[in-house]
């Protein structure tokens, strides 16, 4: 699927222009071949349909995560390090 993400609240005019340019780009045979070669999935949808898909997927996976009791710390089995109050780690001071 080729749909660039944009910040929430972006004007519909800009979203539609961006969508039109992406549609033009993926119509170029070399671009299409490259995208498919990288396991891309070319599906023609409107920005509204894509937005609905993303909302549905977020809801679906949020329910899965909640039902499984998954927490951020359990993601990939990585325990988050203790960070200083400002959240910045200075690696130059060992």
Buried-state track 24-63, b at ≥16 Cβ within 10 A, e below 16: eebeeeebeeeeeeeeeeeeeeebeebeeeeeeeeeeeee
Please report whether residue 90 resides in a domain.
no
Domain around 50: 12-77
Please report whether residue 6 resides in a domain.
no
Please report whether residue 19 resides in a domain.
yes
Please report whether residue 50 resides in a domain.
yes
- What's the structural domain count of the chain? 1
Q: What is the pLDDT of residue 1?
A: 54
Rounded to 5 degrees, what angle do the CA atoms 4, 8, 13 make? 70
Please report whether residue 4 resides in a domain.
no
pLDDT in tens, 21-60: 888 888 889 988 888 888 777 777 888 888 888 889 899 9
> Cβ(35)–Cβ(23) under 8 Å?
no
Please report whether residue 83 resides in a domain.
no
């Amino acid at each position: 699927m080729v749909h660039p993400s944009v910040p929430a609240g972006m004007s519909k005019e800009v979203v539609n222009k961006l969508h039109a340019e992406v549609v033009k780009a993926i119509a170029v045979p070399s671009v299409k071949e490259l995208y498919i070669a990288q396991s891309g999935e070319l599906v023609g949808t409107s920005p509204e349909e894509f937005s609905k898909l993303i909302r549905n997927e977020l809801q679906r996976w949020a329910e899965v995560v909640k039902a499984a009791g998954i927490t951020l710390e359990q993601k990939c089995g990585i325990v988050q390090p203790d960070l200083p109050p400002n959240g910045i780690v200075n690696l130059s001071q060992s």
